[in-house]
Structure 1
């Protein structure tokens, strides 16, 4: 029988083994740590299950390791602490039962078998003994090792029981499939579809935690396709579901904006690990369904979807319990601006248009260009190649104009205070009008982005408006 003691060299295991031997306890390392041994992935945390009190074992281990802070969760019988490079969690072996309308389990003390039975997937139910007489021995009652070899996500028990007990496991199944590029067992997929409504008892915060991990996977479209086919996506993100489908009228069809969005998301994922840039890809066409119109001459149109989409971002983020801070503002900005670089590709790339784009995008211009480049999707390879070549011209123009005019995040050299002092004004509309016209003049290239030129232009505007300079 293969022994895995060579993977148990961390000081935590040495200390736990000592305590277990001294007190005749039964303890195992279980879950992700064991799974990741077989996947040859970096192990970031240790989960230890003990037949007995997890809190007692945690406190004794922490004392010997000289860890000062131990977090105790008495309601769940768990404890955790951080030691050097790893998060360590201790839990007493337990069995759980759930009521239909609640996520809070009735917890009872149990055996290792009880604990493994209640685990989410076979690949997370494997344990390795920490007892002296069989230290390093693998306990794998559900053939999790074989499921890892076959790249299968499967539940230890009947999936209807596993998913109904804890509906978040349905999201976790898809998350693991997306992260590991595994297949979900057909019985599990069918069970997720049948139990999808059970997701409604899970908070959006916990759902988003799993969804964001799916979004951060190498090929996030894989996870979204599973979320759609199992109808989980329908439970919390109907706006994205509404993108799905093709409508044909008078022989003219529009593309399926759901699959287009996923293609854009995957394209972004190739070039950036940033979660919120990936969210911008998800949201960039979110308003196409409500803006869809048919015109006999041009076919299907989605006029204004970028502006409506930007307005939808805060509402969707609020409902999904996503952050409403600068991250949301960033996504909103990219959604609002995502057509602008493409418009430059299609038309004449004027300095004034480039200056305005640089001004509005600010430091997010590079991310905006990644998103817009990703948005170039077509089965016509020649068309895509031509667009990409033109996109490079836009990038070069952005760089040249920025070096020349310095308008990224620029503030006009004439402030409101200068306008007030120059014309001896009380707060009024004229101050804002003058500031706006100076800004527009700089962006349009009518005057350089310099104080003297802007001051002279301000005096000219004041004279046109009947204002008298007092100094």
Structure 2
């Protein structure tokens, strides 16, 4: 498609997207016109409009100072937030819309700390040139008439048409100002399916160590957005190939393992990317961050457990145990919540359990333990185990999937007979204390755990059976 025709197509898509939001844009534009201030839709909002997918989360920039913005929107807005005001940003809620209105910025960076010295600019161009990528450095004037002139002083439209990420200034300057922008490149590669310009790639390779300046929380937020994108594998590849991964997620690049003619095995890194793709294909209701993290990290324990066997093979004994510990360490370092750390590490720990199922010879007790250990993670574990089948041998792949089908059928059959989702002892703590004549304390917990083990082993018992087992256990410990 000729460039002019492609540009025209993008601008038409933007006009259609912006038209859907014209009423709120006209209202907001009227407020700023009446006060004698400029207002522009900017950044990702303009980029997404050009891509025909503008959401109700809109970003604006203005020559008005934050206190003036507050005064203009106070009566019009449903809610006003001041959390970003020290950086010049006023948050506004209006119906279903979430708006951020930021005063023109012309920040100065000392190239050492991660925080800029906030300075307000006087012109739109001052604001646009400080943005991360040219595709995020376009603007649309907003007035009482609604969306108006499209402004692109830095060539963002051409970059968007070429699906390339480039920086408004020299990339070394841009990334030196805020190294997190390098991670944003990986995020946009995933979200937008864009490539990076050669000069950007070279600058990232050179400057990746500067990511150490960035807080763990900001790094984790970008990694999550990358993983939740449409093409996270491309973003991960950019991380690993440029060296960013060595700083923020070294275990992933560490899975790249040379394959020699004597000890052939799958490259664990490429295998993990395939598992991630296959896990994504199994998602039901949109992107599942926990599942995606587990798929990416499920084999990170393999490099540390690799052994060359006498028969010429390669083994990775207990890599799921080692991997779960590594996951906990890395995610804690990235300041993830306890729930996220627990869930992802437990999926990594359990992902190999199914391979002991063999020809379907697990006892009912083993099936109960599988379900109990997975708990609420069971649906994700089903997906992870199925995604972990990457063999090119079609017969073996079919056997593995059929075997897992049988396991799921057995789980369903047992669940129809007993409450597998809540396997608990057949006597509660109060009943245990009453039957044994003991107060609350460690002995009650020991009795409870004994009864739970029996429940897992034998299935549901009647009250009489459970009572007899409890008293027998109690006597066996020398009690009367």
Relative to the length of structure 1, the TM-score reads 0.90
User: Does the 8 A contact of 1:93 with 1:109 survive in 2?
Assistant: yes
Q: 2:39 aligns with which of 5, 13, 27?
A: 27
Distance 1:242 1:5 in 2: 46
Deviation at 1:220, TM superposition (A): 1.6
Q: Which residue of 2 aligns with 1:364?
A: 377
User: Does the 8 A contact of 2:121 with 2:127 survive in 1?
Assistant: no
The answer as to 2:410 corresponding to 1:397 is yes
Q: 1:277 aligns with which of 291, 295, 306?
A: 291
Which runs of structure 2 are paired with 1:49-198 in the superposition (5 Å)?
49-63=61-75, 65-71=76-82, 73-106=84-117, 107-131=119-143, 136-198=148-210
Q: 1:257 aligns with which of 259, 263, 268?
A: 268
Distance 2:465 2:95 in 1: 59
Distance 2:360 2:15 in 1: 65
Q: Which residue of 1 aligns with 2:347?
A: 334
Q: 1:461 aligns with which of 464, 467, 473?
A: 473
Distance 1:287 1:13 in 2: 52
Deviation at 1:103, TM superposition (A): 2.2
User: Does the 8 A contact of 1:58 with 1:90 survive in 2?
Assistant: no
In structure 2, stretches of 5+ residues that fail to align are: 1-7
Q: Secondary structure at the match of 2:148?
A: coil
Q: 1:348 aligns with which of 324, 336, 361?
A: 361
Q: Which residue of 2 aligns with 1:296?
A: 310
Distance 2:83 2:428 in 1: 56
Q: Which residue of 2 aligns with 1:217?
A: 229
Distance 1:90 1:292 in 2: 53
Distance 1:26 1:308 in 2: 57
Distance 1:429 1:210 in 2: 45
Q: Secondary structure at the match of 1:253?
A: coil
Distance 1:252 1:281 in 2: 25
Q: Which residue of 2 aligns with 1:311?
A: 325
Q: Secondary structure at the match of 1:96?
A: coil
Moved more, 87-96 or 166-175: 87-96
- Superposed CA offset, 1:165-210 (max 9, x none): 1111111111111111111112211111111112111111111111
Deviation at 1:124, TM superposition (A): 1.1
Change (3 A) 1:30 1:430: closer
Q: Secondary structure at the match of 1:261?
A: helix
Q: Which residue of 2 aligns with 1:374?
A: 387
Distance 2:439 2:73 in 1: 70
- Superposed CA offset, 1:246-297 (max 9, x none): 354x812332212222211221112222211222223322222222222213
User: Does the 8 A contact of 2:25 with 2:146 survive in 1?
Assistant: no
Deviation at 1:138, TM superposition (A): 0.4
Change (3 A) 1:75 1:380: same
- Superposed CA offset, 1:223-248 (max 9, x none): 11111011111111122222122354
Which stretches of structure 1, 4 residues or more, deviate above 6 A after TM superposition? 1-6, 426-430
Q: Which residue of 1 aligns with 2:213?
A: 201
User: Does the 8 A contact of 1:154 with 1:184 survive in 2?
Assistant: yes
Moved more, 20-29 or 395-404: 20-29
In structure 1, stretches of 5+ residues that fail to align are: none
Relative to the length of structure 2, the TM-score reads 0.88
Distance 1:185 1:27 in 2: 31
- Superposed CA offset, 1:328-369 (max 9, x none): 222222222111123214562332211211222223222111
Change (3 A) 1:86 1:405: same
Change (3 A) 1:389 1:13: same
Question: How many residues get paired?
Answer: 464
Distance 1:24 1:361 in 2: 61
Change (3 A) 1:125 1:461: same
Q: Secondary structure at the match of 1:47?
A: strand
Moved more, 139-148 or 421-430: 421-430
Deviation at 1:54, TM superposition (A): 4.3
User: Does the 8 A contact of 1:30 with 1:126 survive in 2?
Assistant: yes
Distance 1:428 1:47 in 2: 57
Distance 2:303 2:138 in 1: 46
Deviation at 1:105, TM superposition (A): 2.1
Distance 2:364 2:33 in 1: 76
User: Does the 8 A contact of 2:423 with 2:455 survive in 1?
Assistant: no
Deviation at 1:5, TM superposition (A): 6.8
Q: Secondary structure at the match of 2:87?
A: coil
Distance 1:221 1:126 in 2: 28
User: Does the 8 A contact of 1:246 with 1:254 survive in 2?
Assistant: no
- Superposed CA offset, 1:122-178 (max 9, x none): 211111112469951101122322322222222222222222211111111111111
Distance 1:218 1:431 in 2: 51
User: Does the 8 A contact of 2:28 with 2:144 survive in 1?
Assistant: no
- Superposed CA offset, 1:406-443 (max 9, x none): 33321111234434433334678765555444333332
Deviation at 1:395, TM superposition (A): 1.0
Moved more, 172-181 or 397-406: 397-406
Distance 1:310 1:401 in 2: 29
